[in-house]
Amino acid sequence: MKLRIVVTLKNGVLDPQGKAIQHALGSLGFDGVSDVRAGKIFELEVADSTSDKAIDSMCSKLLANTVIENYRIERI
Amino acid sequence: MKLRIVVTLKNGVLDPQGKAIQHALGSLGFDGVSDVRAGKIFELEVADSTSDKAIDSMCSKLLANTVIENYRIERI
């Protein structure tokens, strides 16, 4: 079973990487970029028998820092 | 207009971060994880008038290293 885990910063958490990218795009001449948020994506190949609870646990224990990040699990 | 840019390593390119995560998941007792690939995701808010060509150019010039990475543009 293939999973895609998308980890993004929660609203309200400062994103210096996103800000740097936004400024860099401006410097390169791309106008009209009003916001950039950077996040992470993990593509996992797991055994078909893996439970939803185990998948959720992987995310909250290792893949995302739930204090400042949200995660979304997509089956593909 | 909101865009989501997903940047992933090309097939065949070594992914040490993914390997480290795979081993860490094993150490935490999650069995059956046979592969992990790590990537990046960028959520951009751009002007509605931004052309497809400009968006593609942003990706190839700044957001992705096209030598080792693929990118995918999603409109949301």
Structural domain containing residue A19: 2-75
Shortest distance between the Cα of A21 and any Cα of chain B, in A, equals 8
Is B30 within 8 Å of A63 when comparing Cβ atoms? no
**What is the per-residue pLDDT across A18-73, written as a single tens digit (0 to 9) for each?**
999 999 999 999 999 999 999 999 999 999 999 999 999 999 999 999 999 999 99
Please enumerate in sequence order all residues whose Cβ is within 8 A of that of B6, keeping only pairs 6 or more positions apart, or say none: A41, B39, B40, B41, B71, B72, B74
Give A50's contacts in chain B (Cβ within 8 Å): 30, 32
In chain B, the number of structural domains is 1
CATH no. for residue A26? Answer: 3.30.1280.10
How much is the ipTM here?
0.89
Among the partner-chain residues A24, A31, A43, the one whose CB lies closest to the CB of B37 is A43
Nearest-Cα residue of chain A relative to residue B40? A40
Confirm or reject contact between B63 and chain A (CB < 8 A).
yes
Nearest to A33 among B21, B28, B44 (CB): B44
What's the pLDDT tens digit per position in B14-73?
Answer: 999 999 999 999 999 999 999 999 999 999 999 999 999 999 999 999 999 999 999 999
Three-state DSSP state, B66: coil
Return the H-helix or E-strand segment holding B75. Answer: strand B69-75
Nearest Cα residue in chain B from A39: B41
Q: Hey, of B6, B30, B61, B63, which one would you mutate to test binding to chain A, going by the most A CBs within 10 A of its CB?
A: B30
